[in-house]
Protein backbone atom coordinates (compact mmCIF):
# COMPACT_ATOMS: atom_id res chain seq x y z
CA UNK A 1 0.00 0.00 0.00
CA UNK A 2 1.50 3.35 -1.04
CA UNK A 3 1.56 6.50 1.10
CA UNK A 4 -1.38 8.08 -0.73
CA UNK A 5 -3.57 5.05 -0.04
CA UNK A 6 -2.49 5.08 3.62
CA UNK A 7 -3.44 8.74 3.85
CA UNK A 8 -6.85 8.04 2.23
CA UNK A 9 -7.42 5.32 4.81
CA UNK A 10 -6.53 7.79 7.57
CA UNK A 11 -9.22 10.20 6.35
CA UNK A 12 -11.81 7.43 6.22
CA UNK A 13 -10.91 6.14 9.68
CA UNK A 14 -11.20 9.66 11.11
CA UNK A 15 -14.60 10.13 9.51
CA UNK A 16 -15.78 6.78 10.86
CA UNK A 17 -14.39 7.57 14.33
CA UNK A 18 -16.36 10.83 14.47
CA UNK A 19 -19.59 9.22 13.29
CA UNK A 20 -19.30 6.19 15.60
CA UNK A 21 -18.07 8.23 18.57
CA UNK A 22 -14.77 6.35 18.78
CA UNK A 23 -12.64 8.78 20.77
CA UNK A 24 -9.54 6.59 21.04
CA UNK A 25 -9.27 6.25 17.26
CA UNK A 26 -9.92 9.95 16.82
CA UNK A 27 -7.08 10.93 19.14
CA UNK A 28 -4.75 8.57 17.30
CA UNK A 29 -4.89 10.98 14.38
CA UNK A 30 -5.16 14.36 16.10
CA UNK A 31 -3.70 16.02 19.19
CA UNK A 32 -6.99 17.65 20.16
CA UNK A 33 -5.58 20.05 22.76
CA UNK A 34 -2.84 21.37 20.47
CA UNK A 35 -5.20 21.58 17.49
CA UNK A 36 -7.77 23.59 19.45
CA UNK A 37 -5.19 25.89 21.05
CA UNK A 38 -3.58 26.88 17.77
CA UNK A 39 -6.90 27.20 15.98
CA UNK A 40 -8.26 29.43 18.75
CA UNK A 41 -5.47 31.95 18.23
CA UNK A 42 -6.02 32.08 14.48
CA UNK A 43 -9.78 32.47 14.84
CA UNK A 44 -9.34 35.22 17.45
CA UNK A 45 -7.03 37.12 15.10
CA UNK A 46 -9.53 36.92 12.26
CA UNK A 47 -12.44 38.01 14.47
CA UNK A 48 -10.44 40.98 15.77
CA UNK A 49 -9.32 42.10 12.32
CA UNK A 50 -12.95 42.12 11.16
CA UNK A 51 -14.50 43.28 14.42
CA UNK A 52 -16.10 46.44 12.99
CA UNK A 53 -17.64 44.54 10.08
CA UNK A 54 -19.03 41.83 12.35
CA UNK A 55 -20.45 44.43 14.75
CA UNK A 56 -22.30 46.01 11.83
CA UNK A 57 -23.65 42.63 10.75
CA UNK A 58 -24.58 41.47 14.28
CA UNK A 59 -25.22 44.61 16.38
CA UNK A 60 -27.02 42.55 19.02
CA UNK A 61 -23.86 40.56 19.77
CA UNK A 62 -21.90 42.39 22.50
CA UNK A 63 -18.79 40.37 21.62
CA UNK A 64 -18.03 42.81 18.80
CA UNK A 65 -19.34 46.02 20.37
CA UNK A 66 -16.19 47.30 22.09
CA UNK A 67 -13.64 46.92 19.30
CA UNK A 68 -10.77 44.65 18.33
CA UNK A 69 -8.43 45.41 21.27
CA UNK A 70 -11.11 44.49 23.82
CA UNK A 71 -12.00 41.38 21.82
CA UNK A 72 -8.37 40.24 21.84
CA UNK A 73 -8.05 40.92 25.58
CA UNK A 74 -11.31 39.10 26.33
CA UNK A 75 -10.38 36.03 24.29
CA UNK A 76 -6.92 35.94 25.84
CA UNK A 77 -8.30 36.19 29.38
CA UNK A 78 -11.03 33.59 28.84
CA UNK A 79 -9.22 31.23 26.47
CA UNK A 80 -9.20 28.46 29.06
CA UNK A 81 -12.91 28.88 29.69
CA UNK A 82 -13.82 28.88 26.01
CA UNK A 83 -11.68 25.87 25.14
CA UNK A 84 -12.90 24.14 28.29
CA UNK A 85 -16.45 24.48 27.00
CA UNK A 86 -15.53 23.11 23.57
CA UNK A 87 -13.61 20.21 25.11
CA UNK A 88 -16.46 19.29 27.47
CA UNK A 89 -19.01 19.33 24.66
CA UNK A 90 -16.72 17.16 22.54
CA UNK A 91 -16.20 14.65 25.36
CA UNK A 92 -19.94 14.53 25.98
CA UNK A 93 -20.52 13.86 22.27
CA UNK A 94 -18.06 10.95 22.26
CA UNK A 95 -19.77 9.45 25.33
CA UNK A 96 -21.89 6.69 23.81
CA UNK A 97 -24.07 6.72 26.93
CA UNK A 98 -25.04 10.37 26.44
CA UNK A 99 -28.70 10.90 27.30
CA UNK A 100 -30.52 13.91 25.85
CA UNK A 101 -31.41 16.30 28.71
CA UNK A 102 -34.92 17.70 29.11
CA UNK A 103 -33.76 21.24 28.40
CA UNK A 104 -30.72 23.42 27.79
CA UNK A 105 -30.73 24.82 31.32
CA UNK A 106 -30.95 21.33 32.84
CA UNK A 107 -27.60 20.26 31.35
CA UNK A 108 -26.07 22.79 28.93
CA UNK A 109 -23.01 20.72 27.99
CA UNK A 110 -25.00 17.57 27.25
CA UNK A 111 -27.62 19.61 25.41
CA UNK A 112 -24.95 21.12 23.13
CA UNK A 113 -23.44 17.67 22.55
CA UNK A 114 -26.83 16.37 21.44
CA UNK A 115 -27.23 19.35 19.11
CA UNK A 116 -23.78 18.58 17.72
CA UNK A 117 -24.80 14.99 17.05
CA UNK A 118 -27.89 16.19 15.18
CA UNK A 119 -25.77 18.51 13.08
CA UNK A 120 -23.24 15.80 12.22
CA UNK A 121 -25.99 13.40 11.17
CA UNK A 122 -27.20 16.01 8.68
CA UNK A 123 -23.77 16.39 7.06
CA UNK A 124 -21.93 14.52 4.32
CA UNK A 125 -18.25 14.89 3.51
CA UNK A 126 -16.66 14.52 0.11
CA UNK A 127 -12.90 14.38 -0.35
CA UNK A 128 -12.33 16.46 -3.47
CA UNK A 129 -8.54 16.34 -3.68
CA UNK A 130 -5.56 15.04 -1.75
CA UNK A 131 -1.92 16.01 -2.06
CA UNK A 132 0.85 13.95 -0.47
CA UNK A 133 4.40 15.27 -0.55
CA UNK A 134 7.23 14.07 1.68
CA UNK A 135 5.97 14.30 5.28
CA UNK A 136 3.08 16.65 4.54
CA UNK A 137 -0.37 15.95 3.13
CA UNK A 138 -3.39 18.13 2.41
CA UNK A 139 -6.99 17.01 2.01
CA UNK A 140 -9.52 19.32 0.40
CA UNK A 141 -12.91 18.28 1.74
CA UNK A 142 -16.37 19.59 0.99
CA UNK A 143 -18.80 19.19 3.89
CA UNK A 144 -22.42 19.84 2.98
CA UNK A 145 -25.78 19.53 4.64
CA UNK A 146 -28.95 17.71 3.67
CA UNK A 147 -32.46 19.23 3.44
CA UNK A 148 -33.11 19.03 7.18
CA UNK A 149 -33.10 22.07 9.45
CA UNK A 150 -29.54 21.32 10.59
CA UNK A 151 -28.33 20.63 7.08
CA UNK A 152 -29.73 23.91 5.80
CA UNK A 153 -28.15 25.83 8.68
CA UNK A 154 -24.77 24.39 7.71
CA UNK A 155 -25.08 24.75 3.95
CA UNK A 156 -21.82 23.83 2.23
CA UNK A 157 -18.26 24.60 3.34
CA UNK A 158 -14.90 23.65 1.88
CA UNK A 159 -12.10 22.72 4.26
CA UNK A 160 -8.37 22.29 3.64
CA UNK A 161 -6.92 19.95 6.26
CA UNK A 162 -3.15 19.74 6.66
CA UNK A 163 -1.58 16.57 8.05
CA UNK A 164 1.99 15.68 8.96
CA UNK A 165 3.53 12.23 9.05
CA UNK A 166 4.26 11.86 12.76
CA UNK A 167 5.92 8.51 12.21
CA UNK A 168 6.02 6.00 9.40
CA UNK A 169 2.49 5.42 8.04
CA UNK A 170 0.88 7.55 10.76
CA UNK A 171 -0.65 10.82 9.57
CA UNK A 172 -1.82 13.32 12.18
CA UNK A 173 -4.00 16.38 11.66
CA UNK A 174 -2.01 19.58 12.17
CA UNK A 175 -4.39 22.41 11.26
CA UNK A 176 -7.10 23.74 8.99
CA UNK A 177 -5.24 25.76 6.37
CA UNK A 178 -8.16 27.96 5.31
CA UNK A 179 -9.44 28.94 8.77
CA UNK A 180 -9.62 32.60 7.79
CA UNK A 181 -12.07 32.06 4.96
CA UNK A 182 -14.24 29.83 7.17
CA UNK A 183 -14.61 32.26 10.09
CA UNK A 184 -17.27 34.48 8.48
CA UNK A 185 -19.65 31.69 7.30
CA UNK A 186 -19.28 29.71 10.54
CA UNK A 187 -19.90 32.87 12.58
CA UNK A 188 -23.01 33.62 10.54
CA UNK A 189 -24.21 30.06 11.15
CA UNK A 190 -23.70 30.47 14.89
CA UNK A 191 -25.46 33.84 14.99
CA UNK A 192 -28.50 32.36 13.26
CA UNK A 193 -28.57 29.13 15.26
CA UNK A 194 -27.47 30.01 18.82
CA UNK A 195 -30.19 31.70 20.93
CA UNK A 196 -28.67 34.44 23.11
CA UNK A 197 -30.51 33.24 26.19
CA UNK A 198 -28.43 30.05 26.10
CA UNK A 199 -25.33 32.04 27.10
CA UNK A 200 -26.80 32.58 30.55
CA UNK A 201 -27.31 28.87 31.09
CA UNK A 202 -23.76 27.66 30.57
CA UNK A 203 -21.95 27.00 33.83
CA UNK A 204 -18.23 26.80 33.00
Report the percent of the chain where pLDDT is more than 90.
82
pLDDT at residue 203 greater than cutoff 60? no
Report the percent of the chain where pLDDT is more than 70.
95
The pLDDT-based confidence of 33 (bands split at 50, 70, 90) is very high
Least-confidence region, from 77-86, 148-157, 170-179, 193-202? 193-202
More confident residue, 42 or 106: 42
The structural domain count of the chain equals 1
pLDDT at residue 204 greater than cutoff 50? no
Would you list the DSSP string of 97-155?
T----SSTTT-HHHHHHHHHHHHHHTEEEEEEEEEEETTEEEEEEEEEE-SSHHHHHH-
Instruction: State whether the Cα torsion 189-12-14-175 is positive or negative.
Output: negative
Domain ranges, residue 168: 3-201
pLDDT at 103: 86
Mean pLDDT to the nearest integer, 165-178: 92
The DSSP H or E segment spanning 71 is: helix 68-77
The DSSP H or E segment spanning 45 is: helix 32-49
pLDDT at 196: 62
**Closest C-alpha to 176, from 141, 135, 130:** 141
Angle between helix axes 32-49 and 68-77 (nearest 10 degrees) is 160
pLDDT at 169: 84
Whole-number Å distance between alpha carbons of 56 and 78: 24
Whole-number Å distance between alpha carbons of 117 and 168: 33
Q: How far, rounded to the nearest angstrom, does the alpha carbon of residue 14 sit from its chain's CA centroid? A: 14
What pTM was computed for the model?
0.90
pLDDT at residue 134 greater than cutoff 90? no
More confident residue, 153 or 1: 153
pLDDT at residue 195 greater than cutoff 70? no
- CB of 25 closer than 8 Å to CB of 166: no
pLDDT at 198: 60
Amino acid sequence: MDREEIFKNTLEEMRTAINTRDFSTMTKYVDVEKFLNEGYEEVTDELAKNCAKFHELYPQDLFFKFGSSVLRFYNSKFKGVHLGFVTRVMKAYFDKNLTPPKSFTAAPIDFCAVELSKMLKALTSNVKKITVEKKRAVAEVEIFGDNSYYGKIWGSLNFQFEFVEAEENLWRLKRIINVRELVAPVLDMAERFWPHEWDLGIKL
